[in-house]
Amino acid sequence: MPGHYKRVVNYLRISVTDRCNFRCVYCMPPQGAKWLDHKEILTYEEILRLITVFGREGITKIRLTGGEPLVRAGLADFIRGIKEIGIIDDISLTTNGSLLPPLAQALKAAGLHRVNISLDTVNPASFSRITTCGRLEDTLRGIESALAAELHPVKLNVVMTDALQETDLAYFNKLVYRHPIAVRFIEYMPIGGNGIGSGADTAAVKRLLSTVAGSQTLGPAGNIKGNGPAKYYQFPRTRGTFGFITPLSDHFCGECNRLRLTADGMLRPCLLANREVDVKTPLRSGASDRELAMLFHEAVKAKPQGHSLCRASGYPDFKRRMSQIGG
C-alpha cells in the first residue's frame, strides 16, 4: 500500500498485550504501568479479521509484540490462524526470551519464522537494574531455545544505554563467531520511563567491537532477512553479524514501511508521534471490511514525513510509553 512520500507500507507490528513479566526502565514509567482491562484488548479473532482486511490492502509481513507477547495464552494457535489466512508471508516475534524455552518448538511448528530477543547486557546486576524483575539466565536460555528451534535468523536487540560495557561487547563478539545470530545495537529513545541514560554512540560501539575482536575491521554484511532499518556488518569468518539501528542520529523515516496496531485497537502511523486511528470501536460496532480498509488507508496517509525527534523543538510529550505501544 503506497502512502505519502512514496513509501510502501507492507508491514504491521501487532501488540497482542500491554502486559509484561519484566519492568524495563526505558519501557515503563518508574511507578509502573496500569494494565488494560481484558475487555479493552482486541481478541485474537478481531485481530485475525483485521489482518485479513489489511492483507488485502498490501500487508504481507507481521511482527507480534507486547508488552511481552508470550504472557498471552494461545499465541501458537493465533500464529497458526495468521498462517491459514494465506496472505502473510513473514511472521516474526519480539520477546524478552524468558518464557520462550517451553514454547519455541510449538511456535515454530505453528508458523513463526523468526524471533528478536531483547538483551541489553550480560552483566547480571545491570540486567536486573534494567529489567527490574528479570533474570539474565532465563533470557539466555530463551536464546538457546530459539537457536534449537531454528527460528533463524535469531536477532538480539541491544539498546545502547549506560549499562552497555566492553565486557558485553566481548560476549556478543564470541556469540557471532559461534552462532548465526544478528546482534543489533539500537539508539536509546526517550519514550519509556526513567532511571537509565543513553550510552556509547554507534561509532564508539564499532571501535570497541574492533578492539575486543583483536583490531579486526568491520565490513558490510550481506542481506539479513527482516523488515527493518538495521545496517549490518561483520568480521571475517563469523557466522553472525552486527547491526546498527539509528532512529536519532541517522533516521530512516523515508524508508519506513510499517504501521503499529496497539493492544487496545489503535493503528499508530509512527512510533514517535501521538497520532492514532481507532479501529476497535468501528470493528466492534459492525464496520464492514470496506470501512475497516478505509481506516487502514487513513493511517497510511497519516504517516509523517519524519518523526518528531528530528525537530529542533525537542522531544514531544508522548501520551503512551513503549510498553503501551508495542516495541
Q: What angle do CA 58, 61, 63 make, to 5 degrees?
A: 135
Stretch among 60-64, 67-71, 176-180, 255-259 having the lowest mean pLDDT: 255-259
Under 8 Å between Cβ of 233 and 221: yes
Strands 277-278 and 258-261 turn out to be: unpaired
Does 108 count as an annotated binding residue? no
Does 34 count as an annotated binding residue? no
Does 308 count as an annotated binding residue? no
Whole domain around residue 121: which residue ranges?
4-325
Position 70 scores a pLDDT of: 99
Does 118 count as an annotated binding residue? yes
Q: What is the CATH number of the domain that holds 166?
A: 3.20.20.70
Q: Residue 21 pLDDT > 70, yes or no?
A: yes
Does 253 count as an annotated binding residue? yes
Query: What type of residue is 156?
Result: L
Does 270 count as an annotated binding residue? yes
Position 189 scores a pLDDT of: 73
Under 8 Å between Cβ of 156 and 183: yes
More confident residue, 226 or 158: 158
* Percent of the chain with pLDDT strictly greater than 70: 83
Does 226 count as an annotated binding residue? no
pLDDT single digits (tens) 239-286: 999 999 886 665 556 678 899 999 999 999 987 777 899 999 999 999
Q: What is the 3-state secondary structure (H, E, C) of the chain?
A: CECHHHCECCEEEEECCCCCCCCCCCCCCCCCCCCCCHHHCCCHHHHHHHHHHHHHCCCCEEEEECCCHHHCCCHHHHHHHHHHHCCCCEEEEEECCCCCCCCHHHHHHHCCCEEEEECCCCCHHHHHHHHCCCCHHHHHHHHHHHHHCCCCCEEEEEEEECCCCHHHHHHHHHHHHHCCEEEEEEECCCCCCCCCCECCCHHHHHHHHHHHCCCCCCEECCCCCCCCCCEEEECCCCCCEEEEECCCCCCCHHHCCEEEECCCCEEECCCCCCCCEECHHHHHCCCCHHHHHHHHHHHHHCCCCCCHHHCCCCCCCCCCCHHHHCC
Does 56 count as an annotated binding residue? no
Please state the pTM of the whole predicted model.
Answer: 0.90
Domain tally, the chain: 1
Does 133 count as an annotated binding residue? no
Q: Which of 77, 59, 175 is nearest to 117 (CA)?
A: 175
pLDDT single digits (tens) 181-224: 999 999 887 665 555 666 678 888 888 888 888 878 888 887 67
Which three three-digit cell numbers place residue 116? 528478536
Burial degree of 76 (CB within 10 A; 0-12, 13-18, 19+): middle
What is the end-to-end Cα distance of the chain in Å, rounded? 22
pLDDT single digits (tens) 78-128: 999 999 999 999 999 999 999 999 999 999 999 999 999 999 999 999 999
Does 310 count as an annotated binding residue? no
Does 13 count as an annotated binding residue? yes
